[in-house]
């Protein structure tokens, strides 16, 4: 499996990463997630899988992005993907999404789903690049802004889609190198 070039590393999120992840959360969403929610995800939710993208160096890593998903029967539900604003538009969001989609094949599941705010065109473009299609919407789903949720699905997670992911991986590796 492709790994990000040093000094970057993709690894499982731990409780020690929460300060970094929550700082990105605050810079990324109108209503940041609560620490308790992440603690539950990491320690009390066996369906949850979270990763961080860290820049190694010095005595502590700095977290530049994170992502997570749940495995619900035959479905991977992507619950989070965010990159620190200083690090956006360099391919890291794509790396986090692609890594999760490749991980889906290890469970295995048949489809990947997510919700995204109607106004979040950057994220919708990222998901579109990975062949997520609109599967529905929920009016006023986000209570903080009243924004609608767009439901998106990538399916089936079959052999041709896996090949597509590998090709994307090769292109991204060249970009990040």
Ligand X SMILES: CC(C)(COP(=O)(O)OP(=O)(O)OC[C@H]1O[C@@H](n2cnc3c(N)ncnc32)[C@H](O)[C@@H]1OP(=O)(O)O)[C@@H](O)C(=O)NCCC(=O)NCCS
Binding site for ligand X (CB under 6 A): 28, 81-83, 88-94, 116, 120-123, 125-126, 129
Q: Identify the active-site residue in 127, 130, 142, 161.
A: 127
Cis peptide before 85 (omega within 30 of 0): no
Inter-residue contact 45 to 90 (CB < 8 Å): no
Kindly state the smallest distance separating residue 2's Cβ from ligand X, in Å. Answer: 14
Q: Which residues pair with 150 in a beta bridge?
A: 116, 137
The nearer residue to ligand X, 30 or 44, going by C-beta atoms, is 30
Q: At what angle do helices 18-28 and 35-43 cross, to 10 degrees?
A: 130
Closest to 1 (Cα-Cα) out of 175, 172, 117: 172
Kindly state the smallest distance separating residue 84's Cβ from ligand X, in Å. Answer: 8
Kindly state the smallest distance separating residue 162's Cβ from ligand X, in Å. Answer: 20
The nearer residue to ligand X, 78 or 158, going by C-beta atoms, is 78
Answer yes or no: 41 catalytic: no
Answer yes or no: 127 catalytic: yes
Distance from C-alpha of 55 to C-alpha of 103, rounded to nearest angstrom: 21
Count of alpha carbons within 13 angstroms of residue 46, beta-carbon side: 2
The nearer residue to ligand X, 56 or 121, going by C-beta atoms, is 121
Kindly state the smallest distance separating residue 91's Cβ from ligand X, in Å. Answer: 4
Q: Which tokens belong to 18? A: 């929460």
Q: What contacts 40, CB < 8 A, 6 or more positions away? A: none
The nearer residue to ligand X, 71 or 149, going by C-beta atoms, is 149
Cis peptide before 156 (omega within 30 of 0): yes
* Chain residue at closest Cβ approach to ligand X: 93
Catalytic positions, written as ranges = 115, 127
């Amino acid at each position: 499996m492709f790994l990000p070039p040093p000094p970057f590393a993709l690894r499982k999120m731990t409780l020690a990463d929460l300060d970094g992840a929550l700082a990105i959360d605050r810079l990324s969403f109108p209503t940041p997630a609560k620490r308790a929610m992440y603690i539950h995800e990491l320690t009390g939710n066996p369906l949850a899988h979270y990763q961080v993208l860290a820049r190694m160096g010095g005595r502590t890593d700095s977290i530049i992005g994170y992502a997570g998903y749940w495995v619900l029967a035959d479905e991977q539900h992507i619950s989070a993907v965010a990159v620190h604003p200083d690090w956006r538009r360099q391919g890291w969001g794509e790396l986090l999404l692609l890594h999760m989609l490749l991980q889906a094949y290890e469970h295995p599941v048949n489809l990947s789903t997510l919700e995204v705010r109607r106004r979040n065109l950057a994220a919708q473009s990222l998901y579109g690049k990975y062949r997520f299609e609109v599967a529905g919407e929920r009016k006023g789903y986000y209570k903080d802004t009243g924004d609608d949720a767009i439901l998106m699905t990538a399916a089936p997670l079959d052999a041709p889609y896996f090949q597509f992911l590998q090709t994307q991986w090769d292109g991204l590796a060249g970009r990040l190198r």
